[in-house]
A and B are shown apart, each in its own frame.
Chain A
Amino acid sequence: MAGVVLSGLRREFGSFVALEGLDVALAPGELVSFLGPSGCGKTTALRLVAGFDRPTTGRIEIDGADMTRVPAAKRGVGMVFQAYSLFPTMTAARNVEFGLRVRGVARGQRARRALELLELVGLDHAAGRYPHQLSGGMQQRVALARALAIEPRVLLLDEPLSALDAKVRVQLRDEIRRIQSRLGITTIYVTHDQEEALSISDRVAVMRAGRIEQIGPPAAIYGEPETPFVAEFIGTINRLEARVVDAGRGAVRAGEQTLELPAARGRQAGEAILVLVRPETVRLGASTNGHDVVAAGEIESATFLGATTRVRMRTPLGPLTADVPSGTPSLGPGAAVSASFPADAARVLPL
């Protein structure tokens, strides 16, 4: 199993800096997602690791060996592309065995191996079909099998599910993770879909404007965002602009209300901060807990999302969003409501 170390990776296109010095080390067998909006440099980083592009400066190590200037064909890196990467004139089986054919593996042996891999992705029955006879999800399974056929040291996935519909996406995502764990292959997964990144990764690297904003296990990224960008990019979050009133007690003034937050203790008095509250921690109705932050509000809108209903309110703290179980009565616009959230569920970041 191979580890991957990217150090100081920088890529400039003319005066545009696509990647501003990327440092990340993947442990052998680890799956790390590069997550970020389009243009954040995640695909640029992946292409550098694949060898399709050369960094302006920086170094790529696989298994301790410097790969920075090694051509793509010699890196032993498997890649799954967004879509339409299967060779259209070859059957699924021929696609899968292509890498072995290039390596001069005997016909019978590579045919057996191709079938094994198609079986792994659940497509052994479609071995003789051409790409245009396969659905989008099946094509991506074949592409995965093809990338795995060469027993790559590192697997790279470039938004492999973005062209698929929602149901297939979830199914294939779980399958990718299952196969990746089983083979224990070091993997970089690029996506702009936070749910995908959180569900599949050992660690998530949230990227923005060519740099990693935060990297950590999914739960930490979700629960303890270190920057406002990460907090807002990962899931929905309430952001309340506030000012520290009393650092000792952790008292802050948000909108027209003062609240006491454990997270604000030890800040500078007068400091402008951002109070972040996940909507699922916000409850409606009278609070029974003395440590809760309570705000009286008026409902602006309620959106039914299935299991939960997203309620937007005007409160003295500012606009507040709550995700409450569906079926909660009297959520009509204009209704007066009391909203509360545990004081220790709020996260505080400098503004």
Chain B
Amino acid sequence: MRRPALFPALTLIGAAAFFLIPLGATLEFSLRTAGGHGFGAYGDLLKQHQFWSTLGLSLRLAGESIAAVLVLLVPTAYWVHLRAPRLRPLVAFLCVLPFVVPPIVLIVGLLGIFRGAPGWWLGSPQFLVPGYVVLSLPYAWFSLDAGLRSIDVRTLSEAAHSLGAGSLRTLSLVILPGLRAAVLAASLLTLAIVLGEFTMASLALFNTFPVFVAYVGQTQATGAAALTIVSIGMLWAAMLALALATRARGGKARA
């Protein structure tokens, strides 16, 4: 007779409850109306111009941050793996630094650095992109690093070179396709950071989506709950898209 695996089952139920009960409660609360339950709070939320404008701004900043992170980090990670593997711990350390530097310090530092910068830069929300890039570094680095470690970068690069491909073509035609999952993971994590980072935007007085979330949280009770559910839904959708995109190719990549 096999003993029922009681402990693992309890752990699973406990963990599920830990995540699902607050989520369920939030969902229930978001659906409350004066007379009972309904989608009123969601309707009000989606009608607000601010919801769409801040979301649009944050998505645009996320896109720019993702592009900047990838342009900065993909060639760097590739180069480190190929030519300077001994620098890997150093680069990893530099990329992890944002974990120990809180965003508030980061934004004060950024404001200090850009003090003499022209007004159009200080006044443009793109001002936040360098900060987002810094905050995304640890996640993006570890995704790309793991991706590069899963393929034989050196042999593949040498094979491509011997067939006549230069470094750029080797990176774009051979290495990057093999890093698809890692690049998508790095992008998604950057997106999550941009959609969740409140401190910097708030201190630098930009009205991004997280700032809007905080504002709603302070002013509209059921609206805040509805916004939470909407945000979670968006991230889930993004993660689902990632999972589907990597699975589509996953079967074809070498294990």
Q: Do A and B bind each other?
A: yes
Contact with A along B219-255 (1 / 0, CB 8 A): 0000000000000000000000000000001001111
Are A132 and B255 within 8 A (Cβ)?
yes
Binds A, one of B15-23, B157-165, B183-191: B157-165
A130 to B249, CA, bound (A): 11
Are B253 and A89 within 8 A (Cβ)?
yes
Contact with A along B149-187 (1 / 0, CB 8 A): 001100110111111111001000110011010000000
Set of chain A residues within 8 Å of B254, measured between Cβ atoms: 84, 88, 130-132
Contact with A along B65-87 (1 / 0, CB 8 A): 00000000000000000000000
A304 to B204, CA, bound (A): 83
A188 to B168, CA, bound (A): 29
Min C-beta distance of A84 to chain B, whole Å: 5
Set of chain A residues within 8 Å of B178, measured between Cβ atoms: 87-89
Binds B, one of A20-28, A74-82, A119-127, A208-216: A74-82
Q: Is the C-beta of A166 less than 8 angstroms from some C-beta in chain B? A: no
Question: Which residue from chain A places its CB closest to the CB of B170 in the assembled complex?
Answer: A73
A131 to B252, CA, bound (A): 9
Interface residues of B (CB under 8 A from A): 151-152, 155-156, 158-166, 169, 173-174, 177-178, 180, 249, 252-255
Partner of A150, one of B155, B163, B177, B252: B163
Pick 29 A–B contacts, CB within 8 A, sort by A: A50-B162, A51-B161, A72-B158, A73-B161, A73-B166, A77-B162, A78-B162, A79-B158, A79-B159, A79-B162, A84-B152, A85-B155, A85-B159, A86-B159, A87-B156, A88-B178, A88-B253, A89-B177, A89-B252, A98-B163, A98-B165, A99-B164, A101-B173, A102-B160, A102-B163, A102-B169, A103-B164, A130-B252, A149-B163
Question: Which residue from chain B places its CB closest to the CB of A79 in the assembled complex?
Answer: B162
Set of chain A residues within 8 Å of B252, measured between Cβ atoms: 88-89, 130, 132
A102 to B163, CA, bound (A): 8
Q: Is the C-beta of A295 less than 8 angstroms from some C-beta in chain B? A: no
Set of chain B residues within 8 Å of A78, measured between Cβ atoms: 162-163
Question: Which residue from chain B places its CB closest to the CB of A82 in the assembled complex?
Answer: B155
Set of chain A residues within 8 Å of B164, measured between Cβ atoms: 73-74, 76, 99, 102-103, 150
Set of chain A residues within 8 Å of B163, measured between Cβ atoms: 73, 78, 98-99, 102, 146-147, 149-150
Are A147 and B162 within 8 A (Cβ)?
yes
Set of chain B residues within 8 Å of A101, measured between Cβ atoms: 173
Min C-beta distance of A72 to chain B, whole Å: 4
Chain A residues 68-117 with CB under 8 Å of chain B are: 71-79, 81, 84-90, 98-99, 101-103
Interface residues of A (CB under 8 A from B): 50-52, 71-79, 81, 84-90, 98-99, 101-103, 130-132, 143, 146-147, 149-150
Min C-beta distance of B246 to chain A, whole Å: 12
Are A73 and B177 within 8 A (Cβ)?
no
A51 to B151, CA, bound (A): 22
**Given contacts A89-B253, A132-B255, are A50 and B158 in contact (CB under 8 A)?**
yes
Question: Which residue from chain B places its CB closest to the CB of A71 in the assembled complex?
Answer: B161
A143 to B160, CA, bound (A): 12
A85 to B157, CA, bound (A): 9
* Interface-central residue, B151, B155, B164, B173, by most chain A CB under 10 Å: B164
Question: Which residue from chain A places its CB closest to the CB of B152 in the assembled complex?
Answer: A84
A79 to B164, CA, bound (A): 11
Partner of B159, one of A75, A87, A149: A87
A87 to B156, CA, bound (A): 7
Set of chain A residues within 8 Å of B156, measured between Cβ atoms: 85, 87
A73 to B170, CA, bound (A): 10
A89 to B250, CA, bound (A): 10
Min C-beta distance of B151 to chain A, whole Å: 7
Instruction: Knowing that A51-B162, A81-B155, A89-B249 touch, tell me 10 more A-B residue pairs with CB under 8 angstroms.
Output: A50-B162, A73-B166, A75-B162, A81-B159, A85-B159, A86-B159, A89-B177, A102-B164, A132-B255, A150-B163
**Given contacts A85-B152, A88-B178, are A72 and B162 in contact (CB under 8 A)?**
yes
Set of chain A residues within 8 Å of B177, measured between Cβ atoms: 87, 89-90
Set of chain A residues within 8 Å of B169, measured between Cβ atoms: 102
A147 to B163, CA, bound (A): 7
* Interface-central residue, A74, A75, A99, A149, by most chain B CB under 10 Å: A99
Are B255 and A87 within 8 A (Cβ)?
no
A240 to B109, CA, bound (A): 78
Set of chain B residues within 8 Å of A73, measured between Cβ atoms: 161-166
A73 to B159, CA, bound (A): 10
Set of chain A residues within 8 Å of B173, measured between Cβ atoms: 98, 101-102
Min C-beta distance of B247 to chain A, whole Å: 14
Set of chain A residues within 8 Å of B158, measured between Cβ atoms: 50, 52, 72, 79, 81, 85
Min C-beta distance of A70 to chain B, whole Å: 12
Are B155 and A102 within 8 A (Cβ)?
no
Min C-beta distance of A307 to chain B, whole Å: 39
Min C-beta distance of B120 to chain A, whole Å: 42
Set of chain B residues within 8 Å of A143, measured between Cβ atoms: 159
A103 to B173, CA, bound (A): 13
Question: Which residue from chain B places its CB closest to the CB of A77 in the assembled complex?
Answer: B162
* Interface-central residue, B155, B174, B253, by most chain A CB under 10 Å: B155
Set of chain B residues within 8 Å of A74, measured between Cβ atoms: 164
Set of chain A residues within 8 Å of B161, measured between Cβ atoms: 51-52, 71-73
Question: Which residue from chain B places its CB closest to the CB of A72 in the assembled complex?
Answer: B161
* Interface-central residue, B152, B158, B159, by most chain A CB under 10 Å: B159
Min C-beta distance of A99 to chain B, whole Å: 4
